[in-house]
Structure 1
Amino acid sequence: MNSKKKRSLILRYLLYILGAVLFFCSLFVISVNLGLWGKIPSTDELANLKYQEASEIYSRDSVLIGKYFLYDRQPITKEEVPQHLADALVAIEDERFYEHSGVDYRSLFRVAFKTVLLRDKSAGGGSTISQQLAKNLYPREASGKLRLVATKLKEMIIARRLESVYPKGDLLLHYLNTVSFGDNTFGIESASQKFFGKNAKDLRIEESAVLVGMLKATYSYNPRVFPEKSKARRDLVLRSMVRNEYLAEAEADSIIEKSLVLNYKDYDHSTGIAPYFREELRKRLLRLKEIKNDDDGLSIYTSGLKIYTTLDYKMQLLAEKTMAAHMSKLQRQFEKSHGNSAPWIRDKGLINRAVKNSGPFKKLISQGLSESEAIDSLSTKKSMVLSSWEGDLSIQASTIDSLRHYMKFLNTGSLSLDPATGAVLTWIGGIDHKHFKYDHISQSKRQVGSTFKPIVYAAALESGISPCTYFSAQEIEYKNLEGWSPGNSSDEDETYLNYSMEQALSRSVNTVAVKVLEKTGIPTVISQAANMGITAELPEQPSLALGTGEIGLDELAGAYASFANDGRAVRPYLITKVTRANGEPLFEHQEADPEEQALSDATRKLMVEMMKTTVNEGTAARIRTTYGLRNDIAGKTGTTQNNKDAWFAAITPKLVHVSWVGLDQHEIGFKSTSLGQGASAALPLFATFMKELNRDPSFNHITRVRFEKPDQEILASLNCKPVKRDGFFKRLFKNPKKKRKKKFKKS
């Protein structure tokens, strides 16, 4: 065979091979088009794009305080996209966006030539914005080279269909609404809020350039993690805008000189403002029938709901700030008071019980390990991070070490209400939601100590006992109560003293409170508590007068509101309204019919005056002496047995604030009453918060309001000596060293 025929044969074979390749490529493209490699959406489906949206939570002063989502995304409209943002995106991602119809073949061939022939791995992917949108809308699932090629072809087909359905501006909008910025953040609005604390429409050119620059590699160019790399990428985006004539060179040079400045706000469920409030809000939303029973399958995680709440953003910030300052200081004092003999160090029984009640121990036991094996496993030291008020500690520690570390932490709960409506203004369920999920407002019921006494005294007044009735402070041993003998915390010998009700309440005299309860009757007091909104089951025992009943903090706050709300209790509420993403209302809080009056006007006014005395000169006097507050304030401190729980309930004409401090490990208490009493541990949470409110004129409508001036009849009924001393003959027959014994009359 001569060379000419040989060349002709080779050429024929090459043509056959090329034809076969083209044939199989055509078949492959047809198979992709037919959906054999996965369904391709029709133009009708593409014309009705829907994607999951995060629901947004707003404070009463219209601040975005959190989100609920599976994918953190808030779509925006074309009017909310700054022109410089669209220009930056096109300049760096798809220079010929306005020239092609979904696929930029020129760019595609350039990338193929560089990648295949020149082995240049930095050549890029050649995908247009339309193709990237297709990828955003229909994420890649399968792996493998052939599958990847099929997926790329699908994206090209979808991109061309998208271009036939939407104008270029709408395609840019859909892309910006769907693109991922990492960390489960989707869409330009969510990214703008996270990194710059503002809406996308308010972005400056340099901020738009930062966010657009992230799209090449969301982690590598994350401005929080790698600020220098992010700035360099930002500047490259700005140069691309100059090259494509979207930005003047002089303006770009000026912007490039600017530092990268963030206002980072992570909308994680455990961080940010009011995490305990947001979690309780989530639970209540899931129970809301308007959402639960909706035929459209509404979800707080995917339906883009707008949730408007009662929370005051500025007040919550101040409450969290003052809580952290007080609790960190109190924690140091608490640990110092226990010293090296602290129960979390020395009490092996306590530690052992805590370990056996822990989740890690129970999990190991469920896996078949013996108790000793489980404890050995939990004793193994490893690298871990432990939280503290001074910051995170990276140390070598065991799981048992971790349990002991967190066992010692004081925790707290505090709540502020509008007493006229029950609207929750601040909500602090604990010191740190990340490490302490338990909410001490919605989940906890603790003994309330002397904060229950105002309910006892109110019941007494309602039953006709005069506020100037005197009760002996002498300690009594009750024979029918197994010798129970409640005493007072005062060091003063009170054997011969008799207190008026006002003085006894202001000084929180336990012996008198029990006698007032006895005279009033336990059933009457329990009925009074129920009328004031207390639903907790209360002990039908004389110790009720000392606050041994376990009541939720929110119920106690609602009951105290009756003293400032014409004698009517309130039910704390969190939600004002919920709408769909388009603003269509779903739920709106309706003011309930006023509760029945739990207190007569006379009783309410008397109780306010008596609790003002508690603040002015009684157990809460440090509000005046230490903190220098001159606001109109009434209130009551509370401390439970062995200093386990510290309480303070404050009332002003426009605000009710209740705070609790204690330990989740209830076997541990304060070492001393001086540190653990309500006036020391809980009262400062209110006092420092109130001082901050006083500094801000925008809260004058709360801080400068005065209680109504009591009429002469009320003042006259309180016009008696606060303390009377027994006369000579009574003192003659009383032995201060010997307790008086009697039976307690339970009804």
Structure 2
Amino acid sequence: MQRKESLSLEDIKRYNRIFWKCVGGFVLFIILIISATGLGLFGELPSFRDLENPKSNLASSILSEDKVELGNYYVQNRSNIRFKDISPNVINALVATEDVRFLDHSGIDFKRTFTIIFYNLIGKKQGASTITQQLALNLFSDKAREKSVIKRIPQKLKELIVAVKLERNYTKEEIITMYLNTVDFGNNSFGIKAAARTYFNTTPAKLNPAQAATLVGILKGTTLYSPTRNPERALGRRNLIMQKMVDEGFLDQPKADELKAQDLNLDLNRTSHSEGLATYFRAVLKKDIQDTFEEMSIRKADGSSYDLDRDGLRIYTTINSKMQRYAEEAQKEYMKTLQQQFNAHWKGRDPFKGNENLIIQGMKRSDRYKVLKEEGLSEEEIQENFNTPTSMEIFSWRGNIDTMMRPIDSIKYYKMILRNSMMAMDPKSGEIKAWVGGISFEHFKYDQVKMGTRQVGSTAKPFTYAVGIDNGLSPCYQVNNVPFTVTGYGEPWTPRGHGSLPGYLTLRKALANSQNFITAWVMQQVGPTAVSTLAKRMGITTDVPPYPSIALGSFEASVYDMTGAYSAFVNHGVWTEPTYLLRIEDKNGNILYERKPKVVQALNEQTAYVMTYMLKGVVEEGTGVRLRYRYGLSNPIGGKTGTTNDNSDGWFMAITPQLVAGVWTGCEDRAIHFRSTNLGEGANTALPIFALFIKKVYADSSLGIRKGDFEAPAGGSSITLDCNQYQGSDTGTKGNKEDLDQRLGF
């Protein structure tokens, strides 16, 4: 066998030339690829201006007056936070896990790149990208790693270039802060601020090592290591990260062992447009801001419109988070009981007998009907669909229920659900403190505070009495409570006299007990035009036609308008526009808009004070007396109950020196209601919610809501309120027609 000849010197030189040509060619190829990437041939790279102002979808935050975040408007629930407000535990957990040489490299860790295989072999797993490279992907790429190797290579090269640029333009603190502000932590939480609130109901500054490790662990896979979906994997990942923190000297081994023995200890606070405080308010506020920006042409420097879901605005409101919570709790507590009363009241009866058209209307208004119609189904096919049981989730006061139900039956079910809304405001500043627009924003999106209007019933009577007082009538003036017909203002009008008290009653007692005949008598004296004018001056924005029947609330109005109107009685006759938006700032703190409420002197200061005295009578001896005997509220409180025809609507308007509130209760359709006034009147359907609310408010001393009396006009009241002083005087008791005509100007 012949031995192979050894390589000649020429052969070795030739192979060396080939090798170095290959190396040189490869290096040249890499340089060309990087150059092409830098020139944008594989996609546009961010400019210097982009690096100075990295784009990200920032949630706009809604802040209460007591500095609580009520919620956010967002495409991605993302809020930025400063480095100094992030716990070192988060920084240490992130660096130990993702990039141990973060402080030493310049965006690209070449040592790490060439030793990835070695790290993996010794069990110290590291990702191939530095934190800066991951930030580059998050900020300036399509935010998804390409799975195709061919597409991934140019994407990776762009990451490298952008990472280097980021390192040149930002400090390490700024880079790691931007990274933590942009990453997805699952459960609709983008950024460390949202994640800390979602999983542990805390702030990033207060995260302990275990909590920090849990959140950093999610970054490896938002589903795989989700604490809510895969708690066991999340726990294992957390413990692994804490051990890495020990290995890098960020955490003591004994402390790590102690924390590893603990559960995840989640305190979930999921963020959703349908969850949290003031859901209805947030929806109304968003539309209001959008309309205001459009009307006032408030735009960015480049002329584009602001986007509440992406531009990170800070919206300051008047809502008090504690009062808002108390209002929502009061509603839930009582409406659960009232719904049980309503269901028991209708048990064994068909509320839709004679009202079958309500079901058809409900069906045709439903989203299901519209979708089926768009799909081209005939009316017969749609009817069949609505009569076929299907799986659905329905609302109940015990929580959402998964059930099988015919869609047509779900319409009937929801028609029988009582709705409710409430608003409370400071009568002097006009600032709204609590806004409950409905019973469940998830299921019933329509706001009943400002957007919805219903007949106001007897809550309108104070407008008529206020005009009478303003024209010289005394709250002590007595009128015979007999059927009375108003004439001279169109068709003669005689109200019904349900629950009438016999004999002569003072105007105060008549209002306290909501007596229709005497209210009609006052209307005869002052005329409907004056009453309509006063109602409009006190902020009622809906139509108040000058007919005598407006004395009993035949017109419709919103809880928002009615509450604002009653505030004028407390605020010395001054109507201050109910306000819920204070100002809006951009993400840099620049003020974009400030709202100033309108102010109108609606009625005489003396008249307003007399009206507070008369409205106190409702609680002391009238239809609102259950505030006293059932709820133990003995301090000065005024109010007015309201019940519309057939008990379709129940109202209670309440006044205290520092808070005015309005509550409405009723079904979606007026045809569905309590058959009994004892159950359907405002004293039963609306008043208890205010009572539960105000008791919670009084119990919280931090709110500063006192139990004092209403403030008298400067210099005192010129109108006698003590009816005992009129004993034996015809003018003070039953009156004298000539004297009355003279004082009223007839």
What TM-score range do you get, normalising by the shorter chain?
0.7 to 0.9
1:583 pairs with 2:589: yes
Question: Is the Cα contact below 8 Å between 2:218 and 2:225 reproduced in 1?
Answer: yes
Q: Distance in 2 between matches of 1:529 and 1:616?
A: 25
Aligned to 1:247: 251
1:376 pairs with 2:378: no
The range that moved more, 67-76 or 406-415, is 67-76
Secondary structure of the corresponding residue to residue 588 of structure 2: coil
Q: Distance in 2 between matches of 1:168 and 1:158?
A: 15
Matched AA of 2:496: G
Question: Is the Cα contact below 8 Å between 1:334 and 1:671 reproduced in 2?
Answer: no
Aligned to 2:474: 466
Q: What is the identity percentage for the equivalent residue pairs of Structure 1 and Structure 2?
A: 36
**Matches of residues 529-608 of structure 1 in structure 2 within 5 Å?**
529-590=535-596, 592=598, 594-596=599-601, 598-608=602-612
The range that moved more, 298-307 or 27-36, is 27-36
Aligned-pair CA distance for 1:105? 4.1
Secondary structure of the corresponding residue to residue 430 of structure 2: coil
Which residue, out of 130, 135, 138, partners 1:136?
Answer: 138
Q: Distance in 2 between matches of 1:458 and 1:691?
A: 29
Aligned to 2:423: 415
Aligned-pair CA distance for 1:472? 3.0
Q: Distance in 1 between matches of 2:250 and 2:417?
A: 57
Count, aligned residues: 715
Aligned to 1:687: 691
Q: Distance in 1 between matches of 2:727 and 2:679?
A: 31
Q: Distance in 1 between matches of 2:660 and 2:233?
A: 50
Q: Distance in 2 between matches of 1:4 and 1:548?
A: 116
Q: Distance in 2 between matches of 1:586 and 1:124?
A: 45
Closer, same or farther in 2 for the Cα pair 1:712/1:588, shift >3 Å?
Answer: closer
**Matches of residues 228-307 of structure 1 in structure 2 within 5 Å?**
228-289=232-293, 292-296=298-302, 297=304, 298-307=306-315
Unaligned runs of 5+ in 2: 731-745
1:706 pairs with 2:709: yes
Aligned to 2:625: 621
Secondary structure of the corresponding residue to residue 56 of structure 1: strand
Aligned-pair CA distance for 1:711? 4.8
Question: Is the Cα contact below 8 Å between 1:193 and 1:265 reproduced in 2?
Answer: yes
**Matches of residues 639-678 of structure 1 in structure 2 within 5 Å?**
639-678=643-682
Q: Distance in 1 between matches of 2:167 and 2:484?
A: 89
The range that moved more, 532-541 or 238-247, is 532-541
Matched AA of 2:392: M
Aligned to 2:497: 488
Question: Is the Cα contact below 8 Å between 2:531 and 2:546 reproduced in 1?
Answer: no
What is the TM-score of this pair, normalised by structure 1? 0.88
Q: Distance in 1 between matches of 2:49 and 2:364?
A: 60
User: Which string of whole-angstrom CA distances, capped at 9 and with x for unpartnered residues, describes residues 275-306 of structure 1?
Assistant: 11111221222233467245354433333222
**Matches of residues 345-494 of structure 1 in structure 2 within 5 Å?**
348-475=356-483, 485-490=494-499
Aligned-pair CA distance for 1:429? 0.5
- When the two chains are superposed, the root-mean-square deviation of aligned CA atoms in Å is 3.3
Question: Is the Cα contact below 8 Å between 1:291 and 1:299 reproduced in 2?
Answer: no
Question: Is the Cα contact below 8 Å between 2:80 and 2:181 reproduced in 1?
Answer: yes
1:635 pairs with 2:639: yes
Matched AA of 2:225: Y
Aligned-pair CA distance for 1:548? 0.6
Aligned-pair CA distance for 1:479? 9.5
1:172 pairs with 2:201: no
Aligned to 2:740: none
User: Which string of whole-angstrom CA distances, capped at 9 and with x for unpartnered residues, describes residues 114-166 of structure 1?
Assistant: 99xx9x99977522212211111123366633112221222223223333443
Q: Distance in 2 between matches of 1:586 and 1:165?
A: 29
Aligned to 2:739: none
Aligned-pair CA distance for 1:236? 1.4
Question: Is the Cα contact below 8 Å between 1:460 and 1:516 reproduced in 2?
Answer: yes
Q: Distance in 1 between matches of 2:661 and 2:47?
A: 59
Closer, same or farther in 2 for the Cα pair 1:408/1:13, shift >3 Å?
Answer: farther
Aligned to 2:105: 100
Secondary structure of the corresponding residue to residue 423 of structure 2: strand
Aligned to 1:528: 534
Question: Is the Cα contact below 8 Å between 1:285 and 1:291 reproduced in 2?
Answer: no
Secondary structure of the corresponding residue to residue 288 of structure 1: helix
Closer, same or farther in 2 for the Cα pair 1:292/1:44, shift >3 Å?
Answer: closer
**Matches of residues 136-215 of structure 1 in structure 2 within 5 Å?**
136-140=138-142, 144-215=148-219
Secondary structure of the corresponding residue to residue 219 of structure 1: coil
Question: Is the Cα contact below 8 Å between 1:449 and 1:640 reproduced in 2?
Answer: yes
Question: Is the Cα contact below 8 Å between 2:486 and 2:524 reproduced in 1?
Answer: no
Secondary structure of the corresponding residue to residue 646 of structure 1: strand
Q: Distance in 2 between matches of 1:406 and 1:386?
A: 9
Matched AA of 2:542: A
Matched AA of 1:80: D
Aligned-pair CA distance for 1:67? 1.6
Question: Is the Cα contact below 8 Å between 1:654 and 1:705 reproduced in 2?
Answer: no
Aligned to 1:222: 226
Q: Distance in 1 between matches of 2:133 and 2:391?
A: 45
Aligned to 1:56: 61
Matched AA of 1:489: H
Secondary structure of the corresponding residue to residue 198 of structure 1: coil
Secondary structure of the corresponding residue to residue 641 of structure 2: strand
Closer, same or farther in 2 for the Cα pair 1:672/1:226, shift >3 Å?
Answer: farther
Aligned-pair CA distance for 1:421? 1.4
Secondary structure of the corresponding residue to residue 185 of structure 1: coil
Closer, same or farther in 2 for the Cα pair 1:4/1:472, shift >3 Å?
Answer: farther
Secondary structure of the corresponding residue to residue 702 of structure 1: coil
Question: Is the Cα contact below 8 Å between 2:420 and 2:438 reproduced in 1?
Answer: yes
Q: Distance in 1 between matches of 2:724 and 2:533?
A: 25
Aligned-pair CA distance for 1:574? 0.8
Matched AA of 2:568: S
Closer, same or farther in 2 for the Cα pair 1:460/1:263, shift >3 Å?
Answer: same
Aligned-pair CA distance for 1:664? 1.5
Secondary structure of the corresponding residue to residue 347 of structure 2: helix
Question: Is the Cα contact below 8 Å between 1:450 and 1:638 reproduced in 2?
Answer: yes
The range that moved more, 194-203 or 36-45, is 36-45
**Matches of residues 74-93 of structure 1 in structure 2 within 5 Å?**
74-93=79-98
Aligned-pair CA distance for 1:26? 6.0
Closer, same or farther in 2 for the Cα pair 1:428/1:17, shift >3 Å?
Answer: same
Matched AA of 2:178: H
Secondary structure of the corresponding residue to residue 587 of structure 1: strand
Q: Distance in 2 between matches of 1:293 and 1:312?
A: 29
Unaligned runs of 5+ in 1: 725-746
Question: Is the Cα contact below 8 Å between 1:693 and 1:703 reproduced in 2?
Answer: no
The range that moved more, 412-421 or 341-350, is 341-350
Q: Distance in 2 between matches of 1:219 and 1:667?
A: 49
Secondary structure of the corresponding residue to residue 663 of structure 2: strand
Q: Distance in 2 between matches of 1:685 and 1:571?
A: 24
Question: Is the Cα contact below 8 Å between 1:413 and 1:660 reproduced in 2?
Answer: yes
What is the TM-score of this pair, normalised by structure 2? 0.88
Aligned-pair CA distance for 1:169? 2.8
Closer, same or farther in 2 for the Cα pair 1:628/1:179, shift >3 Å?
Answer: same
Q: Distance in 2 between matches of 1:277 and 1:396?
A: 32
Q: Distance in 2 between matches of 1:426 and 1:449?
A: 23
Q: Distance in 2 between matches of 1:321 and 1:578?
A: 29
Aligned-pair CA distance for 1:510? 1.3
